[in-house]
Structure 1
Amino acid sequence: MFRKKTQGPAVDDKEAPVDSISPAAPVDAPRVRRTYTLDDFELLATLGTGTFGRVRLVQLKGVGSFHALKILKKSEILRLQQLHHIKCEVEILSKIQHPFIVNYLGHFQDERRLYLVLEYVQGGELFSYLRRQGRFPDHVACYYASQLVTAMAYLHAQHIIYRDLKPENLLITSEGSLKITDFGFAKIVEDKTWTLCGTPEYLAPEIIQSKGHGKSVDWWALGVLIYEMLAGYPPFYDENPFGIYQKILDGKVDFPKHIDSKAKDLIKKLLSQDRTKRLGTFLTGLNSVLIEETYAFSCILSGCLRGGSEDVKKHKYFAKVDWDAVLACSETPPYLPPVGGPGDHTHFDEYPDSPIDDSVVLYGEDRAAFDVFDQF
């Protein structure tokens, strides 16, 4: 069962300073890609489906390498008014590179569809693994959480808010590490944005209240994810999305007895209703434009100036983590997905095949709207 995403109208964002310094490659690091066409690939199994497309396992002809091909119907993108979000996704993926983020290899288009060529991550979703296990032991949750902390630190240093952290968007490599995928809600924002988007169980209160939000919403989502990994279910749940929103705004979190005190403390600090006190929030003082001036002033008075991802890393829950080893992917993984070969896709659900040409041909202004992708 997949949780539904929420999407609202976008509003222009303001300028603001960078969150924190990243040890990984800079956002504008040059990356060499080749130009592809659909004829370059042999289409294999469907790995997943979405609102306006699907992801196919493909093999590059003449080379033999396997990749994930994200196939998006242009007519559906326009109908659902998602062109801006897809543009942001391509722009962001084309500029970033990190060991815990899926590698982007290029894109191409034809008169019906837009195609994104991505790294194929064979181990399937963390969501599936978590559901099979029920819940994770503390050391397993800490292993995955530490990788996500480094990835979020990197993204935030590049002014990027991810905004859709959840087990369904985390893939497990054949070596046992995580890869973040699906940047459909990611956005380059140097201050705040007002878009209502994400998955209900993972939304920070400021998103629900349309107060404008920044990078701290990703730290909130990390708190929800750590809770779900340890408990086997999210901290805020209801059959109705509005019931979920109300529980998030109420802010009451009940912890199962087996979750230890260090994990509880971390989760509580990540799930702070007051974003000026939320662990991971980066504040620099009265000149900060991450939050309103009144928030910045009250924050200074209360002595809660914070240092972004470094504060998260220094929490006692991560006391035994070697952060250099995390980035180097040299830690022993808790789980290695059994893989039968480079093209094995047994860790993904089976989907019925869909004709590649079942979308509408675009003309005129609609067709020209996709010229924007030629700049990447």
Structure 2
Amino acid sequence: MAAAVHKLLHPHSHSHSKSKDDSSKSDHLSHERQDSGLERIRADEKHSLAQWQSNQQPLNPDQIESDSKRVGQSSQVLRQEDFELVKTLGTGTFARVWLARLRDVKKQDANKVFALKILRKVDVIRLKQVEHVRNERNVLAAVAGHPFITTLVASFQDHDSLYMLLDYCPGGEVFSYLRRARRFNEPTSQFYAAEIVLILEFLHEQEGVAYRDLKPENILIDAEGHLKLVDFGFAKKVENRETYTLCGTPEYLAPEVIRNTGHGTAVDWWAFGILVYEFLVGQPPFWDQNPMKIYEQIVEGRVRFPSAMSPDARDLISGLCTVDTSKRLGNIKGGASTVKNHAWFRDIDWDALYNRKVNGPIVPHLRGPADTRNFDDYEPENADREPYSKELQEKWDGYFQDF
């Protein structure tokens, strides 16, 4: 038996009669078989991507993590060249998001598009974002399948870049609609606010995740007029612990983040109060040209309401924008249900909303699945990029193995 195993593991060790030519031929054949096997797997993965539907029936919150679907998995075979990069949808300091179309697929699948987020390893390392990028990938993989969170379909990497393949939301940012409309009316604000409550309830109570960057620019509208929360770069699994990283957008920061006294998921309920205010009024309650002045206003925590705002909306925002986290709505006993049961949401059917049975108030006009009219134009990428050196690779590639 041992001899048989040895022969399997070292097929050439006793075959002195075999020439070197035979040996190199068999190595070549073995590599060819391996390559054709990988190509087959790659073709299968691309076929699965072409079949994938983003608007399928939502999973129940407790099914999402236990679901065995392959969405959100790391792919060992996908490559950038499997996608045609059509147009830049957005840029950040170390990432660029592209509208991407699958290459070399059947004719009927040619219209299948995704948002492909490309992160340069050199930039991620230089800007000390390694931990944030890892958090983003792992959180998105864990929540793939929620009806109002962008779906991480797959992730992969090559020598110098990391890739996150996401569902494409052709409606663009809520921020753009809000700026055009100046402010949303009460029913529109309630609808979108309610979808965000369902997102926060799931992230906090199911996943123990603080999102930490809630603002209109990070909320997209899908083809059917529902919200999708994107950009999980600051999201972190905190559970019941506190964390101390200063991150977020000045107008939306909670007082405990500014004071650096330690924060948890309660920061999202504060930001949610700011968001509801911005939906209804058209600008956040705390604002100044000087960020330090914004921070002073936030820590003081006095929200001034316009006279036209309904008493229920004022009461909700006051409860959410409470400096004392132990009294903040959403963070008190009962969690998200205390927000869902608030009078301002009395007309919301939460089950129907979660299952996308209620029509969105803003349905984007689209010419097709690859329509990009709701996104701005961006400058082309700078061709002069610092190379990802062998030294960087040896030091950092282990951190990116999740991709």
The bucket for the TM-score relative to the shorter chain is 0.7 to 0.9
- Counterpart CA distance in 2 for 1:119 and 1:258 is 38
How far off is 1:263 after superposition?
0.4
Give 1:358's aligned amino acid. Answer: R
Match of 2:324 among 271, 274, 279: 274
Counterparts of residues 1-376 of structure 1 (less than 5 Å): 23-33=61-71, 35-61=77-103, 62=105, 63-64=109-110, 65-96=112-143, 97-157=145-205, 158-190=207-239, 191-282=241-332, 306-354=333-381, 358-375=385-402
Identity %: 45
Q: Choose 1 or 2 for highest CA Rg.
A: 2
Give 2:88's aligned amino acid. Answer: T
Give 2:70's aligned amino acid. Answer: V
SS in 2 for 1:25: helix
Distance 1:367 1:351, change over 3 A: farther
Gaps of 5+ in 2: 1-59
Distance 1:225 1:277, change over 3 A: same
- Counterpart CA distance in 1 for 2:251 and 2:133 is 23
Whether the aligned pair in 1 keeps the contact of 2:266 and 2:331 (CA below 8 Å) is yes
Give 1:326's aligned amino acid. Answer: L
- Counterpart CA distance in 1 for 2:321 and 2:259 is 15
Give 1:101's aligned amino acid. Answer: I
How far off is 1:367 after superposition?
4.8
Distance 1:357 1:340, change over 3 A: farther
Give 2:135's aligned amino acid. Answer: C
Whether the aligned pair in 2 keeps the contact of 1:111 and 1:362 (CA below 8 Å) is no
SS in 1 for 2:326: coil
- Counterpart CA distance in 1 for 2:396 and 2:67 is 27
How far off is 1:231 after superposition?
0.2
- Counterpart CA distance in 2 for 1:80 and 1:146 is 35
Select between 267-276 and 89-98 the one with higher mean Cα deviation.
Answer: 89-98
SS in 2 for 1:117: strand
How far off is 1:375 after superposition?
3.4
Residues 107-156 of structure 1 show CA distances to partners (whole Å, capped at 9, x for unaligned) of: 11122211111111100000001000000000000000000000100001
Give 1:330's aligned amino acid. Answer: K
- Counterpart CA distance in 1 for 2:152 and 2:286 is 33
Residues 218-260 of structure 1 show CA distances to partners (whole Å, capped at 9, x for unaligned) of: 0001000000000000011011111110110111111112210
Which structure dedicates a bigger proportion of its chain to helix?
A: 2
- Counterpart CA distance in 2 for 1:119 and 1:368 is 32
- Counterpart CA distance in 1 for 2:389 and 2:69 is 31
TM (norm. structure 1) is 0.85
Residues 319-362 of structure 1 show CA distances to partners (whole Å, capped at 9, x for unaligned) of: 11100011011112211111110110000001122257734223
Whether the aligned pair in 2 keeps the contact of 1:112 and 1:359 (CA below 8 Å) is no
Residues 233-292 of structure 1 show CA distances to partners (whole Å, capped at 9, x for unaligned) of: 00110111111101101111111122100000000000001110000014xxxxxxxxxx
- Counterpart CA distance in 2 for 1:40 and 1:50 is 23
Residues 35-59 of structure 1 show CA distances to partners (whole Å, capped at 9, x for unaligned) of: 4211100011100110012111110
SS in 1 for 2:372: coil
- Counterpart CA distance in 1 for 2:188 and 2:62 is 24
Which structure has more relative contact order (CA 8 Å, sep 6+)? It is: 1
- Counterpart CA distance in 1 for 2:341 and 2:70 is 36
Q: Count the aligned residue pairs.
A: 332
For the aligned residue pairs, the C-alpha RMSD in angstroms reads 1.6
- Counterpart CA distance in 2 for 1:87 and 1:211 is 25
SS in 2 for 1:198: coil
- Counterpart CA distance in 2 for 1:241 and 1:179 is 28
